[in-house]
Every structure is written in structure tokens, then in C-alpha cells.
Chain A
């Protein structure tokens, strides 16, 4: 096994210099919880490993002009505890809180979750619902911003160039008139990989008792987390009541069927998503708790 060369940039300028040497066989090391396990268990090493842990300026959460900016090296534990994230992007705090164990949340990062491109990445599902953009820097120092959904193009595949590093994710901060949550189903209650996940964002018109601006992201359905426009339109302007919950759950089943037609997991996921939809709807606290009518 060839020995990887390791670079440990201590800031953005040193990072761009390191990125200039990256090849398609090189890897960026963020928290490392997926990459190090993979290297150790599958007995491989990249030609070049660029450790981002010394680039401290990529670890932050800011709120400016109504936009929440999250540095790529922000850990899940930091996201979970951050007051700005809790207030303006609750679904992201909830998703971060449900990743792995405390040990993993202490080191795993939001940038790593995106670049690893697992279809069941919890924070990616939340960020897709939040309509996040991703900012990157490359070896030439060029800074670019594009929608998150253009980065995570498939299972384990991204549109990131070998010399391109994620520096920030950003999205519009949700106001007090918004409700948002994240829900997932795994094989156990904690320290579990999502078999199905959902992030839901709605704007509540208290006077009219209706919802609008509905954004729903589904994760672990197909190759990458996605939003479904037909599902979102279904709820637009609907009253915040039990009938809308039923419509939402039905719409989720249809969205899953559209996303993974013929997939072996479809019979399970099209039903499981009903329970998940009700969990998410109830967590928003829009109306009295409602339950699906199974059968």
C-alpha cells in the first residue's frame, strides 16, 4: 500500500496551495469519520491527503442580511448547540443531533457530510429543504457558489473538482413565522443510519390558519436527497389541519414512487414514508396531533 502524503494547511492560503497539488486520487480530510474508516478497513490510501482541521476559519456560524452562513468545518455537535441554527434552521440542528454518536458528532462536519455524498446524509436532507447554496474554493483561489443539489449528483458522487474544497453552506434564515423539523427512520432509535429521512419547512399564516412556502426534502430515497415540486404544491395555501396531514402523507407516497420506481425498497419506503410524514407534520405543532389511518 503506497503511503499517502499528508498536507496540513494552517489557513485558507495554505489550503489553496495544497489544492494545487490535488489529483483525482487525492482526498480532503474533514472530520474523517467516513474516510478514515474506509481507508483502514478497505486497505487503501489516497496519493495526497489534505487535512482541513488546521483551517480554523472554516468553523463558524454567522447571520448576515437574513442569510445563515455555516463554515464547512462546523461539527454536528456545534450545529446542534448553535443558537442561530436552532432559531433559524431548527431542522438542521435536529438533523445534526441525530447523526451517529456523541463521539462522531464531535468531529464529523457539515462539509464532510456533503462531500461524502451518502444518499442518507442527515444534514444534507435538511440543507436541501433549506435551499442551501454551497461555496467552494479551488487551487487557483477561485471562489464559486452553486446549489447544494448540483454538488451531490449521486451516491458517493459529487460535482466537486479534485482541487475544489467546500468552504461554506448558506441559506435564508427562517423567521418566527416558519416551522421546520427533521425526521428519520433507522434500524434503531439512536446511532443509526437513515433508511428514510425527511426535512420539512413551512410558513404558517396564523390569522388564516394556512401554510405556504412548503419545502420538503426526502433523503435515503434514491441516489441523493431531493425536493419534489408536485408534493410541495399540494400543500400550498392549505389549512393547517388533519386533512392536510393526510394529503401530505399521500403526496409523500407518490413522491417516493416517482423517485424510485421498481426499486426493491419501494414497497417498504412508500408505506414507511406515511409514518414519517405524520411524525414530521406533528412535530411542527400546526394542529392537534393526528395519526394515519392505516389500511
Chain B
């Protein structure tokens, strides 16, 4: 079927299988291999992309569900001025080991900072709870996100998240 998809600011007209997952279309039809496939069941978050400002596991949505929406992958983070602040902080903090989880981590963190530019450390950890790093580099990853969040920006009207015990964070 025919699908119009906006990815990283560009409109694509694609012929897709009706049940093609978003990750399949991004990787196989658009060549955006920064989107990584790890577990294929929403546990690892390596395939995280941003759809209309929200982090989403691209292995758990169909490409057609993203019609009319704006998809952002790790390839769209950098612009002509260079790497995104988050990417620079990941480098500065050495928050990358094997690198497989990095695109997903970046996109989850980006979605968090888009909604809440100055999150608490607990909010950062909650936002990254759906991203697994098997090199166990979480400490540096959280530090990188925190550094990026310490840049001045407007406050957000997003209500605080609830933690695992139902408390505001």
C-alpha cells in the first residue's frame, strides 16, 4: 500500500506492506540503520524513535500508524551546525561503549528533554527505563543527559511523572 511518511523533516512516498513495522520501513526502505533492532518485543529500546515528540519503540508500531506524523530518528538529530547537544554530552561523558544501545538512548533522552528541559535525575532514569545497555554504562549515560539538561531553556507545563510507587517525581 501507498504510504506518505515524514522522516527527519523529509516527506517520503513509499510502497509498504500493510503490516510492515515502522522499524522495517526505516531500516530496509529508507536505509536509516541507526535504528537498531535488539529484542523485537519492546524490552530493549534500541529501536526507539520519536513520533510526534514522543519516544516510541519502532518495533511495536506499524509504519502506517505513523502516517501524518513526524518521525525523528538518530540520523535526524544532528543538523548543519553539527551534533545535537545530547550527542556532544554522550561523547564528553564517554557514555558509549559498544554503541548498539546509543541511538535508542539518545532518542529516549531527546524526547524527555523536549517535554521537560530540566528533569530530575529520577525522571531521567524513568525515561531511560525502557532502554537496556548491556555494557552497563548507565551512570555515564544518565550523567550525559543531566549535563545536556543543565543548559538554560524555557520551563515546561508537563505534569511530573509518577514513579514505580505512584509518587510524583
Tell me the A residues contacting B by CB distance below 8 Å.
3-6, 8, 29, 31-33, 36-37, 39-41, 45, 49, 51, 53, 77, 80-81, 83, 86, 90, 93-94, 97-98, 100-104, 106-107, 181-183, 189-191, 283
Distance between A42 CB and nearest chain B CB, rounded to angstroms: 11
Given contacts A53-B65, A190-B129, whether A104 and B164 have CB atoms under 8 Å apart is no
Contact B21–A40 (Cβ < 8 Å): yes
Q: List 5 A-B contacts (CB under 8 A).
A: A6-B1, A101-B57, A102-B126, A103-B48, A103-B57
Main secondary structure on chain B at its contact with chain A?
loop
Contact A104–B130 (Cβ < 8 Å): yes
Contact A32–B64 (Cβ < 8 Å): no
Total interface residues on B, using CB and 8 Å?
A: 39
Complex Cα–Cα for A86 and B168 (A): 11
Contacts of A6 in B (CB 8 A): 1, 18-19, 64
Complex Cα–Cα for A31 and B161 (A): 21
Given contacts A102-B130, A103-B48, whether A51 and B111 have CB atoms under 8 Å apart is no
Contacts of A90 in B (CB 8 A): 166
Distance between A21 CB and nearest chain B CB, rounded to angstroms: 15
Distance between A189 CB and nearest chain B CB, rounded to angstroms: 5
Contact A102–B62 (Cβ < 8 Å): no
Contacts of B18 in A (CB 8 A): 3-6, 49
Given contacts A3-B17, A32-B62, whether A283 and B111 have CB atoms under 8 Å apart is no
Contact A36–B130 (Cβ < 8 Å): no
